């Protein structure tokens, strides 16, 4: 992603700061979507996301930074600021606080379409649990570790305080394995969830499997993608849970890199509508990264 440098090399000797940077990145998408629901029509979807990142590096080599997003999309009443985060990183790893996600949210089932059809939603509902406001992450050799915790952002206690989770990852020679575990400290039932992700790449094909369990319900998902050439990839996704009202979801899609950070993508799939029913959803549009 191309970055626009707004400010560089701000020396603050009294604070021991060697340099400071502010970068601006962003993404946008626009196209046509159709939910397939009775009585609805295809419609235009447009979304913009601007990401502002500021960082400073100390003389000792530690980086302290902050970021936030400015988001807006078709039908929204006004733009909003979201994902406010502050972090410190160094040889020990990285600690991030603010609007962060629980550890196991770091893996999941793939989706298709330029704006995602929702094929992955039911499976990831079984995975998702708890909240977080501080995350620690590090990597070593072929391993990665992410630990999340909800400490609370005010002096007053909250129901989410005490939630925690961990995500372990391993990747080597085309094989990837991720194992997640999250706990909702305030829940009285289904207060923990376990999830497993598997990926394997061979030739131009990438296979993935995802599995989640919350002691009451379980979910299974699979995906495969194939590179037709250097620019175009086709993908297929399937997801299923044993929740009574859920039907199996599946979809197929493509993505073509047009150069300059622009791609054309689309998909068609079957996803849940109301309980026990499903609809055919489609989309086609452009994604832009800048």
Half-sphere exposure of 181 (CA within 13 A, CB side): 3
Q: Give the model confidence (pLDDT) of 58-116 as tens digits.
A: 999 999 999 999 888 765 555 678 889 999 999 999 999 999 999 999 999 999 999 99
For residues 231 and 257, the answer to whether their CB atoms sit within 8 Å is yes
Count of domains forming the chain: 1
Q: Give the model confidence (pLDDT) of 256-289 as tens digits.
A: 999 999 999 999 999 986 666 778 999 999 999 9
- For a pLDDT cut of 70, what percent of the chain falls above it? 87
Q: Which residues pair with 282 in a beta bridge?
A: 34, 268
| Encoded tokens for 53 | 């990142």
106: domain CATH number is 2.40.160.10
Domain with 203, as residue range(s), is: 4-289
Q: What is the DSSP letter of 105?
A: G
- Residues present in the chain in total: 290
What is the rounded distance in angstroms from the CA atom of residue 142 to the CA atom of residue 161?
Answer: 32
Average pLDDT taken over every residue of the chain: 87
pLDDT of residue 130: 82
pLDDT of residue 6: 36
E strand or H helix at 52:
strand 43-58
Q: Give the model confidence (pLDDT) of 134-183 as tens digits.
A: 999 999 999 999 999 998 877 776 767 788 999 999 999 999 999 999 99
| Encoded tokens for 221 | 């998902």
Say if residue 19's pLDDT is above 70: no
- For a pLDDT cut of 90, what percent of the chain falls above it? 68
| Encoded tokens for 286 | 């452009």
Q: Strand, helix or coil at 230?
A: coil
Burial of 249 (0-12, 13-18, 19+ CB in 10 A): buried
Say if residue 208's pLDDT is above 80: yes
Question: 49-72: b or e for each residue (b if 16 or more CB lie within 10 Å)?
Answer: bbbbbbbbbeeeeeebbbbbbebb
Say if residue 4's pLDDT is above 60: no
pLDDT of residue 235: 98
Q: Strand, helix or coil at 287?
A: strand
Radius of gyration of the chain (CA): 21
| Encoded tokens for 181 | 């575990």
Say if residue 9's pLDDT is above 60: no
pLDDT of residue 5: 37
What is the rounded distance in angstroms from the CA atom of residue 13 to the CA atom of residue 91?
Answer: 23
Q: Which residues pair with 200 in a beta bridge?
A: 175, 207
User: What mean pLDDT do residues 43-57 have?
Assistant: 94
Between 212 and 5, the more confident residue is 212
């Amino acid at each position: 992603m191309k970055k626009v440098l707004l400010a560089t090399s701000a020396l603050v000797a009294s604070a021991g700061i060697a340099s400071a940077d502010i970068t601006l990145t962003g993404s946008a998408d626009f196209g046509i979507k159709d939910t397939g629901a009775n009585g609805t029509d295809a419609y235009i979807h447009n979304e913009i996301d601007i990401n502002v990142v500021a960082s400073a590096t100390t003389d000792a080599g530690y980086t302290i930074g902050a970021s936030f997003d400015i988001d807006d999309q078709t039908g929204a009443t006004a733009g909003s600021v979201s994902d406010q985060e502050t972090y410190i990183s160094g040889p020990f790893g990285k600690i991030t606080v603010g609007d962060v996600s629980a550890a196991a949210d770091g893996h999941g089932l793939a989706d298709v379409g330029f704006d995602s059809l929702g094929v992955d939603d039911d499976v990831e509902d079984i995975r998702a649990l708890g909240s977080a406001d501080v995350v620690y992450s590090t990597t070593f050799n072929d391993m990665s570790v992410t630990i999340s915790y909800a400490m609370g952002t005010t002096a007053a206690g909250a129901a989410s305080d005490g939630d925690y989770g961990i995500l372990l990852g391993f990747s080597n020679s085309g094989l990837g394995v991720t194992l997640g575990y999250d706990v909702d400290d305030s829940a009285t039932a289904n207060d923990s969830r376990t999830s497993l992700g598997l990926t394997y790449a061979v030739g131009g094909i990438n296979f993935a499997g995802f599995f989640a369990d919350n002691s009451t319900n379980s979910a299974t998902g699979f995906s495969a993608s194939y590179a037709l050439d250097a620019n175009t990839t086709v993908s297929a996704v399937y997801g299923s849970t044993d929740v009574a009202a859920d039907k199996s979801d599946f979809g197929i899609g493509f993505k073509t890199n047009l150069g300059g950070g622009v791609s054309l993508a689309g998909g068609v799939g079957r996803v849940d509508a109301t309980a026990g029913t499903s609809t055919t959803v489609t989309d086609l549009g452009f994604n832009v990264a800048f």
